[in-house]
Structure 1
Amino acid sequence: MEKYSAYRDPGTGIQPFLTPVPSPGSHSAVLSAALLPLQYAVGLLRLILIILLATVYALVAAVFAVVPPLKRVISSALIRAVLFCLGFFWISTEIVSKKRGRSQKLKDSWNPGAGDLIVTNWASWVELLWLAYRFNPVFVLPIPESPVQKAFSITPSPISSTPRRRSGRSSMPEVPSSSRNPSSQIEIIGFTPVSLLTIIRETGRAPPYVSVTKATKPRSLDEIRKTSDRPVVVFPECTTSNGRGLLRFATLFQQQSLPVKGWNLFVMCVRYVGRPSSFDYGLRETIRYDPPTGLSPTVTHSIPSLSSFKGKLNPLPHIFTLASSLTTPALTIRLLAQADSPSSPTFMVNEILNVGPGVTARDELAEASAVLISQLGKFKRMTMGWEDKVRFLEFYGSKHT
């Protein structure tokens, strides 16, 4: 949409925050309209079942908290049942290595343990379910040093102002010229562990998160990692995008040298749209993106459900949308072989850091992770970050609430 053009990444031209929508007037849209009663019936039935499974999951988490092994088995079964109800009958998962012909020997190498970190991109609440089902990890939410200054409270300077051509079509809302450039980075001073249900409710939002109160004491990743009896999942983007590219990573590992020693780092990426023409690790072919259709809604969740009781039921409307789909949604998980991870003794620092533009010297691990994830998913890296997402949500909410 033209009115959101200020929130398009200047380097790549990608709009990373808007929800992908079907093309108007397509054949699938007409067929979807005809099948709407059936979709609603299927969606309602699936949604009721998902709510029941979520309720049982919450009860299991409370009742069997003192018996972790039993809790893990039951919780994993319930989460897999939810994914099945959503249409994810099979989730494509592959371990990718820089060396060809080695994939068959790596099936058992991707096994995060207690105190290890899993670093990945973030596009939906669905990958949260997959991670919880496979690894039973600890999820963390970031705590920023300060809130983002509101875009509409910034007065554009005469130098940064861009003259606008005046025409009869002047209904497009004015956006300060200062918001057209990527926002400056705000330091992440720590994290707080949250439950699976909590981080699902926060999907689509941006820091500071509602679930993280001002009284919450920030904890470093190293502290959380050392005291955890499970793997820890970190989202360096700090918020969700629509999966079209990779947002700017926050500085999370400033004191960490490469290669990592004392613990393991597992790198993965999630893809919901498009397929590269080749799955070879080092190649950089263009990606053909398949937009959503009337029968296949997007799985990504970059914007929280603002209209559902002021967002308190987020992401329930999106869950219903996926549950109403009569097609099988696509989800591909790509895992980087541990031999190529920044925690491998054979990790070549110069080889990776020289690949990506704009190397951040003070956080080599975050930069290396960004380069590796962009290669895994064939993503373009953007200069926009979670700070821009905050301003986008402010602007978007002013038009839709």
Structure 2
Amino acid sequence: MEKYSQFRDRGSGIAPFFPVPTQPSGLRLPLHVFLFCVRVPLVFAGLLFYVLVLTWLPIGNLLKKATLWFVLGVPGIWWVDLQLDGVRRGSLSRQPAHRLPSAGTIIASSFTSPLDALYLTAIFDPLLTASYPSTPQIEVLSLPRALLRALSPPLLAPPPGTKLTDLAALLRAHPDRAVVVFPECTTTNGRAILPFSPSLTRAPPGVKIFPVSLRYSPPDITTPVPATYADFLWNLCSKPTHCIRVRIAAAVLNDAAGASAGAGVDWAAAPTATGTPRPAASPKQRPVAGSPSQPQKNSYVTNYFDSLGLGFGAAATAASTATTTTTAQKHSITSTGLAAAAAAGPESERLSSADTLIGSEDGGAGGGGAAGEDSAALPPPESQKVLDRVAEDLARLGRVKRVALGVRDKIEFVRRWRRGK
């Protein structure tokens, strides 16, 4: 793998495009062969029944979801570990409905396997879409096309003749459906979050964007390398069982602040997770920092000892403020220089940091557009905050890091990978 070292992230050493090795079957090989031969026909039969029959019948979603769960259950996906971010285990059923994706919302999902689209369709019955790094517009996909896209080569731009739309128009046309967006534009092995397409910047203000992280155990059913149909089917259908780890973050709104949908909620007046009201604040409690009685202080300038009234004098405070301002200016200049160097320099000199992710070759972390593409595809700074917020949530939920490698890097990796084999 040393010859592919340039496709590792420079800062962390993470290789998001390398296929996850499969554990050898050993003495269990006869069992794995038997499971594979029995399961593969059942999986294809369930998918064909869904595509050729149920898709065209004017029936409800119950039979469709039951068929998709049959397709998921045949390969041994019997356990789904679903958890909401910030919610204790065992209290999921007591959470309000707005904490989960629903009609009229957007699901920003990680992209690692064909099972992503299959599971999300079985749960939420959404509209599936494809994103491209060179445009904020999206392409609507059917379930079979979404499954095949996870095994297809990455694309920098949509093919000629592709019918494109944006999130606002799609939500207006289908107010009774959720919309799934894969903002990374291509699959990974689940060990990193790639720079985002600008497609999420077209989300209407006030529409909730739910970051959803999907991880699999064993992880060898991810498809970072395209056209690995046989390997994917073998890894999926030969193992006795699989597990999906699903994490859903709090909703994000596409506004200038990139704030959470929960911002502005009076959590002190809201009930607890058990439904009981919170105790009233005691009048003897200290005033909260930032209230009229206790103005908010800059933590860089003041600390705990300043609240003791020791009287160090205004000169010390002024000197501290000047030092802090100078340090912040130096940091800003350094960050700007690193970002410019990363955008102008060769691929081998890019660094994985919050500064170099912005303006990188593929549009930065959360940005869109590869080098040489129209600069109009790059999101404005206000929208970039939303992309950064969603990307950070996906990285935190998946317990991975954001990297600067993008779609253009994967195209080059796939080319060398095939030539090396």
Alignment TM-score > 0.5, same fold: yes
Is 1:82 equivalent to 2:71 in the alignment?
A: yes
Q: Is the 8 A contact 1:339 1:347 kept in 2?
A: no
Distance in 2 separating the partners of 1:241 and 1:368:
20
Q: Is the 8 A contact 1:270 1:334 kept in 2?
A: yes
Q: 1:110 and 1:197, CA in 2 relative to 1: closer, same or farther beyond 3 A?
A: farther
Q: 2:354 aligns with which of 357, 360, 376?
A: 357
Post-superposition offset of 1:3: 2.0
Distance in 1 separating the partners of 2:252 and 2:159:
39
Paired position in structure 2 for 1:188: 135
Structure 2, unaligned runs of 5 or more: 266-352, 359-380
Q: 1:215 aligns with which of 155, 161, 166?
A: 161
Paired position in structure 2 for 1:35: 28
- Could you list the per-position Cα deviations for residues 171-203 of structure 1 after superposition, in whole angstroms to 9, with x for gaps in the alignment? xxxxxxxxxxxxxxxx22421101111110110
Q: Is the 8 A contact 1:270 1:332 kept in 2?
A: yes
SS of 2:261's equivalent? Answer: coil
Counterpart AA for 1:270: L
Q: Is the 8 A contact 1:236 1:366 kept in 2?
A: no
The normalised TM-score by structure 1 is: 0.68
Q: Is the 8 A contact 1:189 1:220 kept in 2?
A: yes
Is 1:237 equivalent to 2:184 in the alignment?
A: yes
Post-superposition offset of 1:252: 2.6
- Could you list the per-position Cα deviations for residues 192-221 of structure 1 after superposition, in whole angstroms to 9, with x for gaps in the alignment? 1011111101104344389x6411132122
Q: 2:234 aligns with which of 307, 320, 325?
A: 320
Post-superposition offset of 1:338: 4.2
Paired position in structure 2 for 1:20: 20
Paired position in structure 1 for 2:263: 346
Q: 2:249 aligns with which of 317, 336, 348?
A: 336
Post-superposition offset of 1:393: 1.3
Larger Rg: 2
Distance in 1 separating the partners of 2:195 and 2:95:
30
Post-superposition offset of 1:143: 3.9
Q: Number of paired residues?
A: 305
Q: Is the 8 A contact 1:119 1:268 kept in 2?
A: yes
SS of 2:53's equivalent? Answer: helix
**Equivalences for residues 149-228 of structure 1 within 5 A:** 187-208=134-155, 213-228=159-174
Q: 1:47 and 1:101, CA in 2 relative to 1: closer, same or farther beyond 3 A?
A: closer
- Could you list the per-position Cα deviations for residues 105-146 of structure 1 after superposition, in whole angstroms to 9, with x for gaps in the alignment? 4263344333311012111111211101000111111245xx
Distance in 2 separating the partners of 1:47 and 1:100:
35
Structure 1, unaligned runs of 5 or more: 23-27, 145-186, 274-295, 307-314, 349-355
Counterpart AA for 2:247: R
Counterpart AA for 2:137: G
Post-superposition offset of 1:98: 7.8
Higher helix share: 2
Paired position in structure 2 for 1:108: 97
Is 1:262 equivalent to 2:206 in the alignment?
A: yes
Q: 1:372 aligns with which of 384, 393, 401?
A: 393
Is 1:302 equivalent to 2:302 in the alignment?
A: no
Distance in 2 separating the partners of 1:112 and 1:20:
30
Q: Is the 8 A contact 1:114 1:231 kept in 2?
A: yes
Is 1:250 equivalent to 2:197 in the alignment?
A: yes
Post-superposition offset of 1:320: 3.0
**Equivalences for residues 56-135 of structure 1 within 5 A:** 56-64=49-57, 67=58, 70-97=59-86, 105-106=94-95, 108-135=97-124
Distance in 1 separating the partners of 2:221 and 2:30:
21
Post-superposition offset of 1:101: 10
Q: In percent, how many aligned pairs have the same letter?
A: 27
Paired position in structure 2 for 1:395: 416
Q: Is the 8 A contact 2:17 2:410 kept in 1?
A: yes
Paired position in structure 2 for 1:311: none
Q: Please report the RMSD computed on the Cα atoms of aligned residues, expressed in angstroms.
A: 2.9
- Relative contact order higher in (CA < 8 Å, ≥ 6 apart): 1
Q: Is the 8 A contact 1:16 1:245 kept in 2?
A: yes
The normalised TM-score by structure 2 is: 0.65
- Could you list the per-position Cα deviations for residues 246-301 of structure 1 after superposition, in whole angstroms to 9, with x for gaps in the alignment? 11222234466xxx73322212111225xxxxxxxxxxxxxxxxxxxxxx561211
Q: Is the 8 A contact 1:61 1:71 kept in 2?
A: no
Distance in 1 separating the partners of 2:182 and 2:264:
22
